């Protein structure tokens, strides 16, 4: 009973301390000096760190730079900067979870870890910062002030946003001319000849047609029979939902990259294609990915081989023509694209 009361009291103390500090969160900006938790080592699954002071970098300026390519870490790679997956459980897609923040961490020079946890800062035009982590606005993307890298994703902001081009193709008005054959009737009567010829009738109908396609690359529908897809050697994207968006994750040569896009909540499924292929491969198989926003984190996007898929030639393509009406997007080579006419072929003039 004593242990329970002690733990309960500590939780209450932490809660009221955090609530009080949250109401009076200090506003900081680029160049401000603040205390943070900095990991030093991992010992028996425990992150051992220390309290240190850092100068807040101008993160927004970096994000506005088109050439900005920062390191991005996930639960699988977070140990490279001194954290464990359990120690960052408090960095959720919906915000900081104080009961899980720095779980499994030990500070060697802090007066108390809870006092560091309760220090809250508001970074101007960016978001909330705690313990050396800054959450960008209402996303699940977190910036680490000590390692100057990102956890989970890099937000799309200004210059670093993927460029999307809009291609409009307009077909000149076509005309159809239908000409009925001339009809000649000859009637012969004694002493007279009467010839009657019906006039030729011509009907012309003109209907202008236009097609608008929005994507990150030229698209065309390609289905080539006779291709053979290898059984292995393909690399497919991983996906992670964030607030109002989705992140495309690729691992190329041991280096992981993420690109995040805005995604309407009405989207519940999409398809994707591999971004790496085995040597000599001519074809590729698509996968169907379903989105369950109510599932546990990590299980919200599930991709499986499309049972109705055919081996398709590797190259630019628009698979929208073979999709049902509820599939609105696809991913090809890391580019998240919208289908212009789901369920309809796009190559008809």
Mean per-residue pLDDT of the chain = 72
Higher-confidence residue: 217 or 50? 50
- Residue 151's pLDDT band, with cuts at 50, 70 and 90, is very high
Percent of the chain with pLDDT over 90: 26
Which of 338, 345, 274 is closest to 306 using CA atoms? Answer: 274
Average pLDDT score over residue span 259-276: 80
Q: What are the residues whose beta carbons fall under 8 Å from the beta carbon of 348, sequence distance 6 or more?
A: none
At 116 the three-state DSSP class reads helix
Distance, first Cα to last Cα, the chain? 77
Instruction: Break the chain into its structural domains and give their ranges.
Output: 17-160, 220-338
Q: What is the pTM of this model?
A: 0.46
8-state DSSP, 295: S
Look at 107-121, 158-172, 249-263, 298-312 and tell me which has the smallest mean pLDDT: 158-172
Exposure string over 105-117, b if 16+ CB within 10 A, otherwise e: bebeebeebeebb
Using the predicted structure, report yes or no on whether residue 19 has a pLDDT greater than 90.
no
């Amino acid at each position: 009973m004593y242990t329970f009361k002690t733990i309960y009291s500590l939780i209450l103390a932490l809660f009221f301390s955090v609530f009080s500090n949250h109401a009076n969160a200090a506003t900081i900006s680029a160049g401000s000096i603040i205390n943070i938790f900095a990991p030093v080592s991992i010992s028996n699954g425990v992150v051992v760190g220390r309290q240190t002071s850092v100068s807040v970098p101008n993160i927004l300026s970096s994000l506005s730079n088109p050439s900005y390519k920062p390191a991005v870490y996930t639960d699988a790679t977070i140990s490279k900067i001194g954290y464990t997956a359990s120690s960052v459980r408090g960095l959720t897609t919906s915000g900081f979870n104080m009961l899980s923040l720095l779980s499994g961490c030990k500070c060697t020079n802090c007066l108390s870890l809870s006092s560091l946890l309760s220090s809250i800062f508001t970074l101007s035009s960016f978001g909330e910062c705690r313990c050396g982590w800054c959450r960008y606005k209402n996303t699940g993307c977190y910036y680490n002030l000590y390692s100057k890298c990102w956890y989970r994703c890099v937000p799309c902001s200004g210059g670093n946003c993927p460029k999307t081009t809009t291609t409009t193709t307009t077909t000149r008005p076509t005309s159809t001319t239908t000409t009925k054959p001339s009809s000649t009737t000859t009637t012969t009567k004694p002493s007279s000849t009467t010839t009657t010829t019906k006039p030729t009738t011509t009907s012309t109908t003109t209907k202008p047609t236009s097609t608008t396609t929005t994507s990150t690359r030229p698209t065309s529908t390609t289905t080539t029979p006779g291709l053979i897809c290898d059984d292995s050697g393909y690399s497919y994207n991983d996906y992670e939902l964030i607030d109002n968006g989705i992140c495309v994750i690729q691992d190329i040569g041991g280096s992981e990259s993420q690109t995040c896009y805005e995604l309407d909540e009405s989207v519940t499924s999409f398809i994707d294609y591999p971004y790496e292929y085995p040597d000599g491969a001519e074809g590729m198989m698509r996968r169907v990915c379903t989105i369950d926003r109510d599932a546990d984190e990590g299980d919200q996007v599930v991709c499986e081989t499309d049972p109705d898929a055919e081996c398709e030639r590797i190259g630019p393509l628009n698979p929208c023509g073979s999709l049902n009406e509820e599939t609105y997007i696809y991913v090809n080579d890391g580019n998240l694209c919208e289908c212009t006419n789901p369920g309809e072929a796009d190559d008809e003039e």
